[in-house]
Amino acid sequence: MQKKDIDWGSLGFSYRHTDYSYFSNYKDGAWDEGTLTPDHTITLSECAGLLHYCQEVFEGLKAYTSKNGDIVCFRPDQNAERMYNSAQRLCMPPFPKERFIEAVEDVIRANAAWVPPYGSGATLYIRPYMFATGDVIGVKPALEYQFRILTTPVGPYYSGGVKPVKLKVSDYDRAAPHGTGNIKAGLNYAMSLYPSVQAHAEGYADNMYLDPQSRTYVEETGGANLLFVKEDGTLVVPQSATDSILPSVTRRSLVDVATKMLGMTVEQRPVKFSEIGDFVECGMCGTAAVISPVGEVDKDDEKIVYGMEETGPVMRKLRETLTGIQDGEIPDQFGWVHKVDCE
Ligand SMILES: *Cc1c(COP(=O)(O)O)cnc(C)c1O
C-alpha cells in the first residue's frame, strides 16, 4: 500500500478529509448494515433533532503505526462502551459495541494510506459520532439517527517538545450537577466554548472547572481529566460527587499503569481545590496529548505553581510508559493495543 505523499511531521490539528467515511442509519427501530462512502458531506432535514435539541454524542481515538509496522488503535472497546452509555443518556439508540469496533476497523483499513508512518508523531484521528436525523418539533427523542465515522490525519501534539501549560479556574461550569458532564456529548462543548475562548485570550491553555454544586472540588478541564502527584509520590485522581467528570480512557489506563506496572499508590477521591497547592505535580490527560504537564493554575489573584520549566518526574514516567505501550516499545500486558489487519 502506497502511503499518501504528506509531510506528516508538519501536520497540525485541523480537518482534512481522507478517502472514506463510514455511516450506518437507524430507522424503523433498527440500524442498517452500514457502509463506507467517499462522500464527506451529509444532507439533513431542516427539522432534524440534531439541529434543535442537540441529540449528538461522539468519540475520539487514533490509529497509528506501531514500532513493528502494524496499524493499530488503542482500546477501541472502551470508546464503544462509552458511546453506548452516552447515547443512552440522550435517548438515542446505542450503536452495538461489536459493530462499533468493526466499523472503526473498516474505516481504518479503507484509509490505511492515511495512517502516518511510525516515528512521525502524527496519527490518523478517528471521530465516531451519532446524531438525530429524524424530524422533531415537539420536544422528544427523534426516531431516526445516523452513526458516522470521519477520519483525518493530525500532526504530533507537541511538535516542539512537551511544555507545561497554564490553567485558569473558570467562573463558569462546563456541566451541571448530575447532568451530562459524564458523557461525551457535543452539548458539553457548546457550554465550555465561551469560557474557553476567554481563557485562551488571557494566555491560558484551558480552564480548570470546579464541581458545579459547591465549587470547592476540582473536576476537570474542558476536554481533559486532571491528575496530581503528592509529595510522597502518590497519584491523586479527582472523583466527582456530582457525576460530572468525563470517564477518560487515558486516565483509567494511566491509573492501571501506575498501580500495576509502576507500583505507585493511587488515591481516587474528591479533591478540594484548597489542597492542590500541597501537590507537587499536575497534569491533564486525554487521547490527544496523553499527558500535558500543568505548570501553573491561577484562580483570581491566587497562583499555584508546579513549574513552567519542565515536566515533573512522575508525569514524565507515566507519559513515557503509556506512550511506550501504545507504540509497541514496552510490552502490552493489558491487551490494550488493537491491531487492524490491513493487507
Ligand atoms: C474526551 C474527553 C476527555 C478525555 O478522554 P479520553 O478518553 O482520555 O480521550 C476528558 N474530558 C472530556 C470532557 C472529554 O470530552
- At 260-278, the pLDDT tens digits run 999 999 999 999 999 999 9
Q: Is the pLDDT of residue 158 over 90?
A: no
- Closest listed residue to residue 36, CA positions, set 119, 108, 124: 108
Substitution candidate for ligand 1 out of 13, 61, 78, 184 with most atoms within 8 A of CB: 184
Helices and strands, number each (H, E), in the chain: 6, 18
> 220 CB under 6 A from ligand 1?
yes
pLDDT in tens, 275-313: 999 999 999 999 999 999 999 999 999 999 999 999 999
Q: To 5 degrees, how large is the angle CA 48–CA 49–CA 54?
A: 130
Atom number, ligand 1, closest to the C-alpha of residue 192: 13
489487519: which residue's cell? 341
Instruction: Tell me which residue has its CA closest to atom 1 in ligand 1.
Output: 223
pTM beyond 0.95: yes
Query: Per-residue confidence at 1, pLDDT binned at 50, 70, 90?
Result: confident
pLDDT of residue 339: 98
pLDDT at res. 94 = 98
Tell me what the pLDDT averaged over the chain comes to: 97
Q: Is 184 a residue of the active site? A: yes
Q: What are the backbone angles phi and psi of residue 196, rounded to the nearest 5°?
A: -70, -45
Cα–Cα dist 143/145, whole Å: 7
Q: Residues 153-173, buried b or exposed e (16+ Cβ, 10 A)? A: bbbbbeeeebebbbbbbbeeb
pLDDT tens-digit map of 134-157: 999 999 999 999 999 999 999 988
Q: Where are the beta strands (DSSP E) in 104-185?
A: 123-132, 145-154, 165-169
- pLDDT at position 281: 98
78 within ligand 1 shell (Cβ under 6 A): no
- pLDDT confidence of residue 343: 74
Which tens digits make up the pLDDT trace of 32-79? 999 999 999 999 999 999 999 999 999 999 999 999 999 999 999 999
Phi then psi for residue 277, to 5 deg, are -70, -20
DSSP string, 182-240: TS-BHHHHHHHHHHHHHHHHTT-SEEEEEPTTTS-BEEEESS-EEEEE-TTS-EEEE--
CA 305, CA 89: separation in Å to the nearest integer?
A: 38
Residue 266 is placed in which grid cell?
493511587
- Say how many Å lie between the CA of residue 225 and the centre of ligand 1: 7
* Residue reference for cell 465516531: 128
CA distance 195 to 174: 9
At residue 337, the pLDDT reads: 98
Share of the chain above pLDDT 70, in %: 100
Mutational test site, ligand 1, from 73, 239, 287, 326, max ligand atoms within 8 Å of CB = 287
Q: Is the CB of 250 under 6 A from ligand 1?
A: yes
pLDDT tens digits for range 96-116: 999 999 999 999 999 999 999
Is residue 292 within 6 Å of ligand 1 at its C-beta? no
Per-residue confidence band for 160, with pLDDT thresholds at 50, 70 and 90? confident
What's the mean pLDDT in 225-231?
A: 98
CB neighbourhood size of 242 (10 A): 20
Is the pLDDT at 159 greater than 80, yes or no? no
Pocket lining: 240 vs ligand 1, CB cutoff 6 Å? no
**What distance in angstroms lies between residue 203's CA and the mean position of ligand 1's atoms?**
22
At residue 24, the pLDDT reads: 98
Report whether residue 293 contacts ligand 1, using a CB cutoff of 6 Å: no
